[in-house]
């Protein structure tokens, strides 16, 4: 990474006093036809607009969100990625991810547009059931990751699975 790129990356995240240490911060970038980072689902606790191309969304511990990254050059798409992340509490172990500080628990992480598209279709299917994707069982996101990575079709999420996940969450399992 060049010094100029490293400086601009560091400048994207404001100094520590402006960002809460108890939140997970996600930098969203939009440079037309070059780079786009966006959130597919998830409820943020705070939004900070850095400039007209960048903003930072902050998530409370336990929040689940889908982070999509896309990049292109003069010849077309060079990267398509999706990650479904659970924001971690201070002191918990986490995995790092570009544009996410400090990181989170990766429930799903896939690359290439065909795989990303399959995940987005699964999210659409969950929403058609009237379920908020951030409330879906973490095990379902892991299952989707594993099945798509193995070249299999992901299984559909059902209302029965969702009820069971909510009951497990209520009793602390």
Q: Give the pLDDT confidence score for residue 2 in this predicted structure.
A: 45
Reported as a single tens digit per residue, the pLDDT across 38-81 is 999 999 999 999 999 999 999 999 999 999 999 999 998 899 99
> Residue 10 above 90 pLDDT?
no
Band (1; pLDDT cuts 50, 70, 90): very low
DSSP calls for the chain: --HHHHHHHHHHSPPGGGS-TTSEEEEEEEETTTEEEEEEE---SEEEEEETTEEEEEE-TT-EEEEEEEEEETTEEEEEEEEEEEEPPTTS--EEETTEEEEEEEEEEEESHHHHHHHHHHHHHHHHTT--GGGS-HHHHHHHHHHHHTTPPPPPP-HHHHHHHHHHHHHT-
The confidence band for 12, taking pLDDT boundaries of 50, 70 and 90, is: low
């Amino acid at each position: 990474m060049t010094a100029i790129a490293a400086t601009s990356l560091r400048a994207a995240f404001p100094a520590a006093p402006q960002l809460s240490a108890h939140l997970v911060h996600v930098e969203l970038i939009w440079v037309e036809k070059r780079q786009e980072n966006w959130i597919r689902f998830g409820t943020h606790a705070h939004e900070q607009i850095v400039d007209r191309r960048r903003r930072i969304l902050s998530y409370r511990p336990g929040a689940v969100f889908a982070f999509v990254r896309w990049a292109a050059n003069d010849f077309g798409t060079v990267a398509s990625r999706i990650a479904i992340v659970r924001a971690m509490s201070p002191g918990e172990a986490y995995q790092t991810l570009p544009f996410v500080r400090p990181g989170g628990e990766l429930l799903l992480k896939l690359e290439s547009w065909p795989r990303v598209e399959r995940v987005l279709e699964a999210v659409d299917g969950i929403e058609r059931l009237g379920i908020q994707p951030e409330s879906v069982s973490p095990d379902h996101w892991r299952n989707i990751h594993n099945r798509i990575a193995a070249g299999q079709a992901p299984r559909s999420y059902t209302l029965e699975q969702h009820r069971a996940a909510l009951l497990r969450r209520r009793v602390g399992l």
